[in-house]
A and B are shown apart, each in its own frame.
Chain A
Amino acid sequence: MNPSRTVEVLVGAFVMLGLAALVFLAMQVSGLTSLGADAAYRVHARFENVGGLKVRSPVSMAGVRIGRVTAIDIDPQTFQAVVELSISSRHANLPADTSAKILTSGLLGEQFVGLEAGGADAVLKDGSTIKLTQSALVLENLISQFLFSKASEGRPETPAPAPGPAGQP
């Protein structure tokens, strides 16, 4: 092989290697394959508060990821958060009374939407809405509820008006 041919071959190998590294980064590292690879259908769920939920957060059922959050918006009438969930079409048999909760993975982990199947015969279709929802737990609200209930416990015979939302015996 003459020298300039060797150079060409080596340069070709170098460029291929670089492109292969880019493909590796895109596919294996960032998981491009797992998004949009299979068909999906969309359902909506309304929450009082979505906490730290983000677009592309996982949607899981029984701990298995079956979809992703594709959009989060505010309903202009009710001021509730409307979350659009994209669920893989392999799981097209979710009952219509499936409930959605916003959960946290681990103590400090990211938030995700957890679905729990109901018992209805009808199934969720593209565009339908999940009726039963439970919002994210917001730490400040929990603490203030706890403090108010503690405060009302401490003064049982005070005739003062109800101190807080969770304070009534």
Chain B
Amino acid sequence: MIAALGRWALTVFARTGRASLMLLAILAGLPSVLPRPRLLVRQLYSVGVLSLPIIVVAGLFVGMVLALQGYTTLADFGAAGSLGTVVALSLVRELGPVVAALLYAGRAGSALTAEIALMKATEQLSGMEMMAVDPVRRVLAPRFLAGILAVPLLAAIFTAVGILGGYLVGVGLLGVDDGAWWAQMQAKVQPLRDVVNGVVLKSFVFGVVANWIAVFEGHDAQPTSEGIGRATTRSVVNTSLAVLGLDFVLTALLFGGVR
């Protein structure tokens, strides 16, 4: 019993250690990506452009539902004019970065893990090493960098589309005043505190974490078909938990003492 606990703890420590060392190796390999932008563009396409449809559709519906639900409560207080503020603040501060990161983990993170794990299982990575090509620089670093660039952009698109979706429902369907929607939103949402802290900073942190976990799980997978499946599951589950947990910490740090 105690031996099992100790073994489990040692495994966790070892995994954390390997993950940290790999992060350092990737960070050291990042400068070597810049002279080869083709690699980066190819990865940006697969994690960014291909994630666009799900991000746009999800953002649209999240914004529409927020407007619908917010309206029922606000209309009771005669404050339906604040609907724009409610939709914009919840999207900019929380839902935009968090839901975009969760969708990213499901859509792109899982694919990233599976791809790298399969490369490992089919010994492409060791093949590269044999040819004196560093797989960290050639495979891991471009994917990591592309992911970090893609997540904040996806979060910004998600948030903007969500606000437009809320506008469609709130102003188009429920009849909130057009001027009140934008004016109250602009009075309450602050560029530095909300947009930069929320969309830019939060989703940057989420991007680092999501891609770190995705790349690490792929690289650390058992080189079997079962191992690839398990690594992909772990990548999505761990990323979702890490994003939600970190979101609480970041919100407490960034917005907790504001008012």
Say yes or no for A67: interface residue by CB 8 A criterion.
no
B189 touches A30 (CB 8 A): yes
A17 touches B189 (CB 8 A): no
Interface residues of B in 152-166 (CB under 8 A from A): 152-154, 156-157, 159-161, 163
> In the bound complex, what is the Cα–Cα distance between A32 and B194 (angstroms)?
12
- Which residues on the B side are within 8 Å of A25 (C-beta)? 92, 156, 159-160, 163, 195, 199
Decide if the interface of chain B is mainly helix, strand, loop or mixed: helix
Which one of A11, A24, A31 contacts B49 once the chains associate, using CB atoms below 8 Å? A11
Known A22-B200, A29-B186, A30-B194; contact A8-B41, beta-carbon cutoff 8 A? yes
- Which residues on the A side are within 8 Å of B186 (C-beta)? 28-31, 34
Q: How far is the CB of B66 from chain A (nearest CB, A)?
A: 14
Q: How far is the CB of B257 from chain A (nearest CB, A)?
A: 15
- Which residues on the A side are within 8 Å of B189 (C-beta)? 29-31
B195 touches A26 (CB 8 A): yes
Interface 1/0s, chain B 188-207, versus A by CB < 8 A? 01110011000110000000
A18 touches B45 (CB 8 A): no
B49 touches A22 (CB 8 A): no
A7 touches B157 (CB 8 A): no
Say yes or no for A117: interface residue by CB 8 A criterion.
no
Interface 1/0s, chain A 1-21, versus B by CB < 8 A? 000100110110111011111
By CB atoms of chain A within 10 A, which of B45, B92, B149, B150 has the most? B45
- Shortest Cβ distance from B161 into A: residue: A21
Say yes or no for B61: interface residue by CB 8 A criterion.
no
**Tally of chain B residues near chain A (CB < 8 A):** 33
Q: How far is the CB of A14 from chain B (nearest CB, A)?
A: 5
Q: How far is the CB of B197 from chain A (nearest CB, A)?
A: 11
Say yes or no for B42: interface residue by CB 8 A criterion.
yes
> In the bound complex, what is the Cα–Cα distance between A4 and B45 (angstroms)?
10
> In the bound complex, what is the Cα–Cα distance between A34 and B194 (angstroms)?
16
Say yes or no for A58: interface residue by CB 8 A criterion.
yes
Interface 1/0s, chain A 102-126, versus B by CB < 8 A? 0000001000000000000000000
Say yes or no for B15: interface residue by CB 8 A criterion.
no
B190 touches A21 (CB 8 A): no
A4 touches B38 (CB 8 A): yes
> In the bound complex, what is the Cα–Cα distance between A71 and B60 (angstroms)?
39
> In the bound complex, what is the Cα–Cα distance between A24 and B156 (angstroms)?
9
- Which residues on the A side are within 8 Å of B150 (C-beta)? 14
- Shortest Cβ distance from B151 into A: residue: A18
> In the bound complex, what is the Cα–Cα distance between A31 and B199 (angstroms)?
16
Which one of B45, B92, B149, B159 contacts A7 once the chains associate, using CB atoms below 8 Å? B45
Which one of A15, A17, A29, A58 contacts B185 once the chains associate, using CB atoms below 8 Å? A29
- Shortest Cβ distance from B163 into A: residue: A29
- Which residues on the B side are within 8 Å of A108 (C-beta)? 77
> In the bound complex, what is the Cα–Cα distance between A58 and B195 (angstroms)?
20
Say yes or no for B88: interface residue by CB 8 A criterion.
yes
Interface 1/0s, chain B 77-100, versus A by CB < 8 A? 100000000001000100000000
- Shortest Cβ distance from B96 into A: residue: A25
Give 26 A-B contacts (CB < 8 Å), ordered by A residue: A4-B42, A10-B45, A10-B49, A11-B44, A11-B49, A14-B153, A15-B44, A15-B48, A15-B153, A18-B152, A18-B153, A18-B154, A19-B156, A21-B159, A21-B160, A21-B161, A22-B195, A22-B200, A25-B92, A25-B160, A29-B88, A29-B92, A30-B186, A31-B186, A32-B191, A108-B77
| Given A25-B156, A26-B191, A29-B92, 8 further pairs, Cβ under 8 A | A11-B44, A11-B45, A14-B44, A14-B49, A20-B160, A21-B161, A29-B186, A108-B77
In the A-B complex, list the 8 residue pairs whose CB atoms are closest, starting with the nearest.
A18-B153, A31-B186, A21-B160, A21-B156, A30-B191, A30-B189, A22-B156, A21-B157
Which residues of A line the B interface, CB within 8 A? 4, 7-8, 10-11, 13-15, 17-22, 24-26, 28-32, 34, 56, 58, 108
